[in-house]
Amino acid sequence: MMFDWRAGTSNHCIGVAVGMLLTTQLSTAYTLDMSSTDSMKRVASSMTQDMMSFYNGHQPGGIPGLLPPPYYWWEAGALMGALVDYWYYTGDTTWNSITEEGLLFQAGPNHDYMPLNQTMTEGNDDQGFWAMASMSAAEYNFPNPPADKPQWLALTQAVFNTQAARWDEQECGGGLRWQIFTWNNGFDYKNSISQACFFNIGARLARYTGNQTYADWADKTWTWMEASGLLDKKTYYVYDGSHTNNCSEITPYQWTYNAGAFLLGAAAMYNYTTGPTQARWRTRIDGLLNGTRVFFAGPKNNIMSEVACEPVNLCDLDQQSFKAYLSRWMAATIKWAPWTYNRIKPLLASSATAAASTCTGGDNGRMCGLKWTDHGKHDGSIGVGQQMAAMEIVLANMIQHVPDPLTNSTGGTSAGDPAAGGSDVGRTDPFTIIEYPPPTPADRTGACVCTILILLGLVFGCIFVLSDENKVASPPKRLSRWHWAVMPRGGRGLRRMNVGNLVKGKHPNHSDSDGSLMYEKDDVMVKTHYVVPIEKIGRKTSSINITPRRHHQYHHQRARSGQPDALKYWNHDGTNAGQIHPPHSELQSEPSVLQPQKQNSGMIRKSTSLQKKAMQNRVVHWKEKGSNQYT
């Protein structure tokens, strides 16, 4: 057969072309047109779908509002905020029911985002992220919950009330601690993100409700941040935090979400205030924008980067999501501080283009990476944070196409409750969350019955333990022996008692008709006698542990001689008096093992005629079947 090289070449070329086309499609999963809202919505929709592939709270067996491990509770709150943003920018209601369900399910019994399954570990910043999500729902007029459910504005007010009551003047002159509960690691740390969340919520509540009290708290928080040194007055850098035992020692890390939360809060305060106060907030906004430039890298320093960890590939699970929040809050700042548009929008556009270019990972070929500065290259990292950040930066570029956030006087419909948060709003004890009803007479009766049953069980259990199976000793005598063995030397007494008693349970391979104990293994029979009354332990030796080569069901201490099947003698003071090894068919190749490790005078007899005397001298014998020789 003649080979048609032209057909072969043609098929080869077609295969190469198809392969190149597929490769091109996978490596350029998103074609993002920054001038087209339809393009941005389409890309954001796919990114959101991929982000929600990690979420199972709406599925059977899942918990609404929670991400699966290893993601923490706070990031689930941030994800709910991202879904509110997605609806706000796109009008797509696909995820609305999941968003509402999650925000309500995690609200907790007092409707303050302190659910019972999280209060032992949650911090002030964790609680704050959920409140910022509910605040966005109120400002954007996200569909309100049913009337019998907590409302978005009231949820935010409840969180604010609980945190305002935790303001700590005793350490460092003010501020919120990172952790709510004293036993959690970080209770002695005052971090900027806890202050930023509180400031952000207070400023936005002031704007939405017109209540000056919220604005006063926001101003107080800003003042404390400057006084503590966590917010540099000159550079407007926001540092991570400080410990209460040395408030002046600042942890100098800078994170995108700290700067972003303060930026949006300052914009809300600018929008709320007037006159000289408003001018002061404008200066602060400009200063914060100058400070955020540290987070933009790349050839033109216009691509967002988590500079504290990203360049050295050390961002942890939390930090992988931080850019999502700076993206979200920089865009939202434009609505309340319009002059910032020309400074912010170009940074959002270049970062969105770079972020979309990294979305070539995962099995679907479109999962986004963390390092947007690696333009067109996926860095190998995949997760909720990466997807959320890419989605938020794309959405942020539509900020000029969405309506302004509302207030209760401009069309906002979310119902509030200034006293929300329960009677103990500043609680630091999780057990005060549940208001237990007073005990009824039936409760008291039931408690008494349970107590009596437990005590009876304890008494009968002690009688059973102290009873001799062979009726050799009465329970009082057994109690006397136990008291003698246990009391003199505490732990050692217990050890000697356990050694002396050896095994009291029956086993199919055991016979105790003659008062001895038999353990048969292969061609070796181990025979022990209770030759030492427990109350007389210690004159020459206590009884002996028996540890056969293979495991058996009796729990004895293995002799630590480095050789198997050792017999171990104990002196009265608990010290080791010596070890010997029994004969065993498996050990014939190890003659040295058969030799006694230590010959204690008057304790080892080799004549069967002396067996009785040996018994009197408190000796334990190993006897090989069919032999009269004792080792």
**For residue 582, pLDDT beyond 70:** no
Q: What is the pLDDT averaged over residues 535-539? A: 41
The pLDDT-based confidence of 563 (bands split at 50, 70, 90) is very low
Phi/psi of residue 470, nearest 5 degrees: -95, 10
Determine the Cα–Cα distance for residues 487 and 339; give it in Å rounded to an integer: 83
Instruction: Check residues 554 and 115 and name the one with the higher pLDDT.
Output: 115
Residue 515 three-state SS:
coil
Instruction: Check residues 51 and 456 and name the one with the higher pLDDT.
Output: 51
Q: Is the peptide bond before 115 cis (omega within 30 degrees of 0)?
A: no
**Distance, first Cα to last Cα, the chain:** 89
Could you tell me the CA-to-CA distances from 76 to 80, 142, 262, 294, 386 in Å, in that order?
6, 18, 21, 27, 14
Q: What is the pLDDT of residue 444?
A: 80
Please name which of 154, 396, 385, 384 lies closest in space to residue 264, comparing C-alpha atoms: 396
Q: What is the pLDDT averaged over residues 358-373? A: 97
Taking a C-beta distance cutoff of 8 angstroms, is the pair 366, 357 a contact?
Answer: no
Q: What is the pLDDT of residues 64-100, one digit of tens each?
A: 999 999 999 999 999 999 999 999 999 999 999 999 9
Taking a C-beta distance cutoff of 8 angstroms, is the pair 291, 326 a contact?
Answer: no
SS in 3 state form for 89-151?
A: HHCCCCCHHHHHHHHHHCCCCCCCCCCCCCCCCCEHHHHHHHHHHHHHHHHCCCCCCCCCCCC
The pLDDT-based confidence of 187 (bands split at 50, 70, 90) is very high
CB count, 10 Å around CB of 38?
8
Q: Say what angle helices 192-209 and 212-228 make with each other, to 10 degrees.
A: 160
Q: What is the pLDDT averaged over residues 22-51? A: 84
**For residue 556, pLDDT beyond 60:** no
**For residue 482, pLDDT beyond 70:** no
Instruction: Check residues 627 and 374 and name the one with the higher pLDDT.
Output: 374
Taking a C-beta distance cutoff of 8 angstroms, is the pair 60, 76 a contact?
Answer: no
The pLDDT-based confidence of 486 (bands split at 50, 70, 90) is very low
Q: What is the pLDDT averaged over residues 217-222? A: 99
**For residue 593, pLDDT beyond 80:** no
Q: What is the pLDDT averaged over residues 299-313? A: 97
**For residue 63, pLDDT beyond 50:** yes
**For residue 246, pLDDT beyond 80:** yes
The pLDDT-based confidence of 461 (bands split at 50, 70, 90) is confident
Determine the Cα–Cα distance for residues 245 and 260; give it in Å rounded to an integer: 28
Q: What is the pLDDT of residue 467?
A: 65
Q: What is the pLDDT averaged over residues 433-452? A: 74
Residue 570 three-state SS:
strand
Q: What is the pLDDT averaged over residues 342-360? A: 98
Q: What is the pLDDT of residue 631?
A: 38
Instruction: Check residues 596 and 194 and name the one with the higher pLDDT.
Output: 194
Non-local (6+) Cβ contacts of 154 within 8 A are 111, 414, 415, 416, 417, 420
**For residue 208, pLDDT beyond 50:** yes
Phi/psi of residue 82, nearest 5 degrees: -65, -35
Mean pLDDT across the chain: 79
**For residue 297, pLDDT beyond 80:** yes
Q: What is the pLDDT of residues 378-419, one digit of tens each?
A: 999 999 999 999 999 999 999 999 999 999 999 999 999 999
The pLDDT-based confidence of 28 (bands split at 50, 70, 90) is low
Taking a C-beta distance cutoff of 8 angstroms, is the pair 159, 150 a contact?
Answer: no
Token duo for residue 230: 């966590």
Q: What is the pLDDT of residues 445-459, one digit of tens each?
A: 888 888 898 988 888
Give the residue range(s) of CATH 1.50.10.20 domains in the chain: 26-405
Q: What is the pLDDT of residue 10?
A: 45
Burial 425-434 (b: 16+ CB within 10 A, else e): bebeebeebe
**For residue 629, pLDDT beyond 70:** no
Q: What is the pLDDT of residue 575?
A: 55
The pLDDT-based confidence of 40 (bands split at 50, 70, 90) is very high
Instruction: Check residues 537 and 351 and name the one with the higher pLDDT.
Output: 351
* CATH code assigned to 26-405: 1.50.10.20
Instruction: Name the least confident of 28-42, 230-244, 280-294.
Output: 28-42
Q: What is the pLDDT of residue 24?
A: 40
Instruction: Check residues 151 and 509 and name the one with the higher pLDDT.
Output: 151
Determine the Cα–Cα distance for residues 545 and 308; give it in Å rounded to an integer: 60
Rounded to two decimals, the pTM is 0.68
Residue 480 three-state SS:
helix
Token duo for residue 118: 């999280």
The pLDDT-based confidence of 349 (bands split at 50, 70, 90) is very high
Percent with pLDDT over 90 in the chain: 61
Please name which of 508, 75, 512 lies closest in space to residue 257, comparing C-alpha atoms: 75
Q: What is the pLDDT of residue 501?
A: 42
Highest mean pLDDT of the ranges 14-18, 19-23, 101-105: 101-105
